[in-house]
Amino acid sequence: MLMLSNCESPLRGQAVLITGAARRVGAAIARAAHAAGASVAIHYRHSATDAAALVAELNAERAASAVALAADLLDEQALTGLVDRTLDAFGRLDVLVNNASSFYPTPVGTITTRQWDDLLGTNLRAPLFLSQAAAPALTASNGLILNLIDIHGYRPLKRHPVYCAAKAGLVMLTQSLARELGPCVRVNGIAPGPVLWPESGMDEQHKATIVERTALKRIGTPADVAGAALFFMTSAPFITGQILAVDGGRSTSGH
């Protein structure tokens, strides 16, 4: 967790909505934004227990500074509701972090339309329509949209063509929204590399190969991604339409 001194509250008075924020990278971003003074809306779909625990933790540090909001991001009406509930809770919206993601293999020959709809829906359609729903509030606050992409939006990952296509689309959506929503709203992205291993598990030899092909010879942490998010939130007023790789140099490898 990123720790700031009591006098360092650059996000004081601001409100941040983070999708998929109950666990893992999303939770790290929520803690970092909260430590910087922001009120945070923690979106979740299935992780109700984790979301409730995180909200209780943050509210224990600063009363009424966090809420948990359940929603299915594939339901377009729910996206508008997420924005409305954040505004009801905090009276404003300054940052939208599109962090929620679906990730699983779809080898060619086995791909179904359900998988296509799920992976494109969660990783690309939801960020678009949630950004659209949030745009009026973010315009009023001169706010920020931050999309969590992936280095595999640029380079293919074997057995994951649909996921990679969705993240590649999110790269262009980030750049397009920066043009569409400027000058009032900045839109940027973060492309993590090896930060957390998939929850479904991974062969130890495969992990070792990834680390070996990473310039810093180690994996990162959710705090590394949260630090980049905090940079965009607090220290990048003249940056928009950009994607920052947080990958330990993995994307410099030719493999």
Residues forming the active site: 163
C-alpha 48/C-alpha 56 separation (Å) is 12
C-alpha 48/C-alpha 210 separation (Å) is 32
3-state secondary structure (DSSP) of residue 85: helix
The residue to which tokens 């910087």 are assigned: 36
C-alpha 83/C-alpha 94 separation (Å) is 11
Classify residue 81 by its DSSP letter: H
Report the helix count and the strand count for the chain, using DSSP H and E.
8, 7
Q: From the CB of residue 210, how many other CB atoms can be counted at a distance below 10 Å? A: 18
C-alpha 34/C-alpha 62 separation (Å) is 9
**Cα 118 from chain centroid?**
17
